[in-house]
Chain A
Amino acid sequence: MSSRGLLANEVILLYRRRRTWAMLLALGAVPVLIAVAVRLTSGPPTGRGPAFLDRVAGNGLFVAITGLLVCIPLFLPLTVAVVAGDTIAGEAGSGTLRYLLTAPVSRPRLLLVKFTVAVLFCLSATVMVAVCGLGIGSLLFPVGPVTLLSGTTISAPAALLRVGLIALYVAVSLIGLTAVGLFISTLTDVPVGAMAAIAVLAVAAQILGQLPQLDWLHPWLFTHHWLGFADLLRDPIRWTEFGQNALLQGGYLLVFGALAYGRFASKDVLS
């Protein structure tokens, strides 16, 4: 019960920050921009631009999927870097960490709560993109049954569920980065430094993922499955990649969660 008190307070703290809403609104603007751009032009030539873009004009549901796809490489990791980098370093930087710890909050509990809130933000962020995409999509384009990648056609409500699944897939994809971010956040009292380091890592991992010479490394990068949600658009759904991704992210969570604990449990709080 008491742990819920702290969790509830941290959730409130997250959503009372103007910064959180600025980031969520910026993310929500991405599908809106895509939809408006497609609406204003006569429709893009197929085969150019991000995947699914050519299907937006035909079905508004694809705005949400395209929006998520566009946000994954940079926009989502950036916002996650800000939230994850702030978890411990932000409290340390503003000096509030010493008052939380002497309240007292045990250090493992604080880490757990902070991580939970950061994951909640990942989910909010992807849901924001999906919801804004669905909203603007249904406003500007016709919405109807969706032809899946495997050729079968499903109804609009069933397709809505698929969009939800993709949003969940993307949120799960960000757990590894969040765990890495939590660890980096325990290393410094300067939140901006932690944020920058996390954002750089997210980009660097994607660049490494592009180099064929590092094939052996690719399955171990937390970014490896980031764009792999296409299987959720088949009939029946192929869960292999979803499972592999969840396993990989869980591995990152365990390793970097343990590192964060190891670092934070013995850290001298001198800020």
Chain B
Amino acid sequence: MTGVSDTGDLAIHTTGLGKSFGKRRAVNNLDLAVPRGSVFGFLGPNGSGKTTTIRMLLGLATPSSGTMSVLSQPMPAAAGEVLPKVGALVEGPAFHLFLSGRANLTRLDSADSTTDRSTRTRRVDAALEKVGLGKSARVPVHAYSLGMKQRLGIANALLRERELLVLDEPTNGLDPQGTREVRHLISALAEEGTTVFVSSHLLSEIEQMCSHVAVMSAGNLVAQGTLEQLRAQGRRGVKVATPDTSVAMAVLSRLGLDPHIEPLPGGEDGIVGAVLGPETPEPERLVEGLVAAGVRVRGFTVQPASLEERFVALTGEGFDLVQ
């Protein structure tokens, strides 16, 4: 789908990757192909198997089935060689609270037996500076806000030059400004050639920074490709503003659509929305039908295919998590 055939061009490549916890299948038959140099968005609602996948990619959890390679080497067999080239933020930051941010990073850097000790201080300070924690470097982490901890977690991923960054929900807990900073940081790193694999349940975030995207739903990969490819698969929709919502619903149903009433605060007009498919009549025919049936059409809009619509179509809507 990505148009990449040679696996040498892939930073992450999985085939048939699966993970079960007892009877529950958390990840099912996953074929991921993350091209090198891409900013790859890994999108899915909470509980769709994103973090489990990331844990497997980093060698924290053993797959129940399938194979995976990271930076062209098999995982978890080559973990010792691969992981020093991978910066990771997994399921939120975690640090020893009584140690300062700086001491925590120093600890993690010295835990990696392949790091250069002579440059450690400089690299730790540079990473802290990069995420804007230079001033709080010596403060114990228990005094950090959630956003500061998140920044420290990102700093840990940036302790040395990485070929691949795996960032699980990197903007969690950040204020809008912090979110923007992280976005800038990611694009800057991508420009230097680092592959960034970023997971999120927020579509807008992925849309703003990613070149490629994969969508997870209930443990399955339901779409994968460039942002444009995914957007092109989306379908247009219509919205009708009218006080006669029930009649409008009946008319649209008769015309072969699957309309729904959109909740609207205040006012007597309701909004009836529907997704256009290849088989459904053109919008002007819909208006014609509505007017003919006596529906007082006060507004009619055609919405272009959006990623959001595609995302919702792929993963389902609302709070009901697909199990």
A residues whose Cβ falls under 8 Å from a Cβ of B: 2-3, 5-6, 8-9, 13, 16-18, 94-96, 98-106, 109, 266, 268-270
Q: Evaluate contact between B94 and A104: CB separation under 8 angstroms.
A: no
Give residues 58-116 of B contacting A (CB, 8 Å).
Answer: 58-62, 79-80, 83-84, 86, 88, 90-99, 106-114
Given known pairs A2-B114, A3-B113, A8-B110, the reply for A102 and B59 (CB within 8 Å) is yes
Contact of B110 among A9, A94, A98, A101 (CB under 8 A): A9
Q: Evaluate contact between A17 and B61: CB separation under 8 angstroms.
A: no
Known: A5-B111, A99-B156. 5 other contacts (CB 8 A): A5-B110, A9-B107, A9-B110, A95-B93, A102-B60
Chain A nearest CB: distance from B123 CB in Å?
Answer: 13
Chain B nearest CB: distance from A14 CB in Å?
Answer: 11
Cβ–Cβ < 8 Å partners of A16 in chain B: 98-99
Residue ID in chain A nearest B81 by CB atoms: A104
Cβ–Cβ < 8 Å partners of A98 in chain B: 55, 58, 60, 90-91, 94
B285 touches A (CB below 8 Å): no
Chain B nearest CB: distance from A228 CB in Å?
Answer: 39
Q: Evaluate contact between B110 and A13: CB separation under 8 angstroms.
A: no
Chain B nearest CB: distance from A48 CB in Å?
Answer: 44
| Most chain A beta-carbon contacts within 10 A, residue among B86, B92, B112 | B112
Q: Evaluate contact between A6 and B62: CB separation under 8 angstroms.
A: no
Contact of A13 among B61, B96, B117 (CB under 8 A): B96
Chain B nearest CB: distance from A115 CB in Å?
Answer: 16
B residues whose Cβ falls under 8 Å from a Cβ of A: 55, 58-62, 79-80, 83-84, 86, 88, 90-99, 106-114, 117, 156
Q: Can you sample 13 A-B contacts with CB below 8 Å? A: A5-B117, A6-B113, A94-B97, A95-B92, A99-B88, A100-B108, A103-B83, A103-B111, A104-B59, A105-B113, A106-B80, A109-B113, A268-B62
Contact of A266 among B62, B83, B84, B106 (CB under 8 A): B62
Cβ–Cβ < 8 Å partners of B86 in chain A: 102
Q: Evaluate contact between A102 and B58: CB separation under 8 angstroms.
A: yes
Main secondary structure of the interface of A (DSSP, over half): helix
Chain A nearest CB: distance from B158 CB in Å?
Answer: 13
CA distance A103 to B95 in the complex (A): 13
CA distance A241 to B284 in the complex (A): 98
Q: Evaluate contact between B110 and A6: CB separation under 8 angstroms.
A: yes
Chain B nearest CB: distance from A267 CB in Å?
Answer: 9
Cβ–Cβ < 8 Å partners of B98 in chain A: 16-18
Q: Evaluate contact between A270 and B55: CB separation under 8 angstroms.
A: yes
CA distance A57 to B79 in the complex (A): 61
Q: Evaluate contact between A103 and B108: CB separation under 8 angstroms.
A: yes
Chain A nearest CB: distance from B51 CB in Å?
Answer: 9
Cβ–Cβ < 8 Å partners of B83 in chain A: 102-104
Given known pairs A5-B113, A9-B107, A268-B61, the reply for A102 and B96 (CB within 8 Å) is no
Q: Evaluate contact between A2 and B113: CB separation under 8 angstroms.
A: yes
Chain A nearest CB: distance from B168 CB in Å?
Answer: 10
